[in-house]
Structure formats: structure tokens, C-alpha cells
Amino acid sequence: MSESPACPALFISAPASGQGKTTITAALARLHQRHGRKVRIFKTGPDYLDPLVLQHASGATAEPLDLWMTGETGCREALALAAQQADVILIEGAMGLYDGTPSSADLAIRFGIDVVAVFNARGMAQSIAALAYGLASYNPHLHLSGIVANQIGSARHHSLIEAALPDHLPLLASIVRDPAKALPSRHLGLIPPDQHHDLDIIIERVADELEETPLAQLPRRVSFPMPESHTALPQHLAGVTLGIARDEAFSFIYPANLRVLEGMGAQLRFFSPLHDEQLPSIDALWLPGGYPELYAAKLARNAAMLAALNHCHQAGMPILAECGGLLYVLEELTDIEGQRHIMAGLMRGTAAMRERSGCQGMQSAPLPEGLLRGHAHHRSVASNTPEPIAHGIRPSHPAPGEAIFRQGRLTASYIHLFFPSNPEATAALFAPREVPAP
């Protein structure tokens, strides 16, 4: 290790999903920002929507931090760089503190970061103390510095919780129950900030409640050693202009993916399948995930864009279609209301949204170009598709993962790829040359 920058850091977790982690983390980021502190913020695990809220609250890009997907070295580098730039680092966990392999607890322990647990207190009081004690005691290497009681009903409710907690697990803050402070969501997650006009009001109200609590103070400083220098990214995409769909329908894009593409020499050109009728002058194409099902009628009406996509595919242009991008390149998409819409038809098959159920979790994609890590998270099902060339590999389950399709230079799957996990394979995927058949 070459240097050890240090920075105050705090990990915000919970016993389960739905406790209010994102609300508390966003409000805490806004509170530190009010105090003139530069905040760097991270979200554990694969997520596109919570980071948008955290980014909006903090004014800084919210990056993924995960021991499996981004790797320990990637996590170390991201935290060390953040420590050099920020006055405080905040990390929001995923699901419950000990859920997943690796879990949020594993990440907090690995880097020695204190944890605050958020509890939805609705319907319980003293039982929170038992749950908090269990979280703190389950792994002796984890340091749980206190709890936040969310959704409390009264001052008496606050007092009952506070009195039941042991001295080493203080009640750091409590947030009064108010439906107007709830972050709205839909299938797949939270409503993005650009579609939620009251978001700042919610964040400011919760930040006000945190203002006179211990959480308003800087947390304990943590040392984040910088890993040894990495080999420079190969310039395999030098001279390649890559078109990337980005609008209301296609927005699931990790900033780290863009950095890798640019770091390998690619020129990035963004376009909107919803609003543009022509593609920019490009050599390769990326159709990331998002919500095409919410805009299916408008996508179907944009015949000029559908024709442009078909022209690129027929000309042998490299195309990556991920999740929502997969839905877009199929022949037809049935939305949540049961309405059928014609899509691009670059690949045989149809897709339909489901009211419930779905798929989520980490997966590796064994592409002909190499193995890339990523994840899947969707509420649709594709049918009548071609035979896949491979299936995703789940890190902790033997069942096959998502199907991976290859039609000419088109690669399509429900898997969202994390490009930094294998830059060489990423470059080969987008390079404007023929790829040998698997």
C-alpha cells in the first residue's frame, strides 16, 4: 500500500429492506452539505435508483461499492480516492445488515467503518433493543455505534425505545412518522429525482430532524490505504465512437462503466430512443436498462429510430442490449396494463411485464469475449427467443442464471454488466470487428 488517506466515515444499514435507509442516508448527506462539508457517498450492491436519490441529496456521484461485483481492490481504490477529496464518506447498505454473501456487514468490517442501524419502529418499541443487540452481537468484529428509529409515533414512543437500549447502543435519532416524508416507489425501486418534484422537501424535512442529534457531528475518522497502482487501461477502443441510449426509458448506467469506456479511448455519444429520430455517427451501440415498459407506446411510434437501429444491426455494428435494452430489441413488448407494442425486432422474441415476482441477484456473464460480473433485476419475462449461447453464473446458487443471446454482433441479456470487472472483454464486445463464434 502506498498511502493511507483518512476521512470520517459512516455506514448506514438496517435489519431489513424497507426500514428507511435511503431516506436517512440522503438526509444525512444533505445535513453535512448544509454544514459546508464535501460529501462522498456510496451504495452497497447493484443499484441504479437509490444512488440517484443519494446523488441528488449530496451533490456528488453515488458509486456502487460491493466486494463481489466491484471487488475488494476496486472498493479500496474508490474509498481511498474519496478520502482524499471529501470531508465525510457515507455508505448506504443493501437489504439487511447480514443479508447476502458478501453482506453489508462484511464490507463494513473489512474497512473498519462504524455502522448505524435504521429501524422502522412502526408497530414495536422495546423489541428494537433486542433486535439491535442481536445485530451488534452477531459478529464481534462489527462495530454498531447506535440506531435510528424511523416512523416513531410520539415522544412516548421515542422514550420507550431509548430506555430499552443498552448504553453501548444509543438512540442517535428518531424520525417522526409522516406519510409526506416517504420516498415514492414503483416496480424495480424508487422514483428517480427528475420525476419526483417533492424530493427536496422530503430530504430537507428529515435533515431538520437530524440537525440536533449526534448524527450532525462528523463520525469517526477511518484510514483508507490506497492499493498499489493498477496497470493502465488498454486503449482498445481508441478511435471508436460509442452511442449510448440515455433518456427517461434508458437510464441504468453506472458512472464507472462510462469511465472504463472513456479510459480505453472510446468517444461517447448519448442519444434518446424516445425523442431522437436519428442516431449520431457511431461505430458501436449500447442500449442499457431502464423503464422502456413505461414508455413503450412512444418508443413504438418512433419508427425512424427503430429503422435506424435495424440498419445498424444489419450492417454488423456491435450492439449490447441489457435488460430494458433487451426488451427494446425484441419484436414486441406487453406493458403492465396488458397493451402490446411493436419494438425494434433486432432479435426474435416477445416480452411481457409481470405484476409480481421477478428476478434479482448477482451473476457473471460468460461471454465469448470473457467473463464479466454484473447483476439482474427485472419484472418481465421474455419468450420465443433464439437459443442462448450461454447463461449467467450465480455466485452462490447452482441454478443457471439469465440467458445470454448473440445474433451477429448483437449481444442481449437481462444481465447488467459491470465493465470494470473485465475491461478487456468489454473492449472486445464493442470493438467494430467480427468476433469469433463461441
Of 334, 318, 339, whose CA–CA distance to 408 is shortest?
Answer: 318
Scanning 224-282, the segments in alpha helix (DSSP H) are 255-263
Catalytic entry in 7, 75, 312, 323: 323
Q: For cell 419494438, name the residue.
A: 343
Whether residue 90 contacts residue 51, with contact meaning beta carbons closer than 8 Å, is answered with: no
Distances (CA, A) of 233 to 210, 227, 242, 259: 43, 16, 17, 10
Backbone angles phi, psi at 265, to 5 degrees: 100, 0
Q: For cell 456487514, name the residue.
A: 105
Looking at residue 393, what DSSP letter applies? B
Distances (CA, A) of 402 to 85, 270, 366, 374, 379: 38, 27, 11, 11, 13
3-state class of 57 per DSSP? helix
Q: Which stretches does DSSP call E strand in 142-288?
A: 144-152, 171-176, 185-186, 189-190, 221-223, 241-245, 250-252, 267-271, 284-287
CB atoms within 10 A of CB 38: 15
Number of H helices, E strands in the chain: 12, 26
Backbone angles phi, psi at 395, to 5 degrees: -70, -20
Whether residue 266 contacts residue 237, with contact meaning beta carbons closer than 8 Å, is answered with: yes
Catalytic residue status for 323: yes
Scanning 192-330, the segments in alpha helix (DSSP H) are 199-210, 255-263, 296-301, 303-314, 324-329
Instruction: Find the angle CA(332)-CA(333)-CA(339) to the nearest 5 degrees.
Output: 110
Active site residues: 323
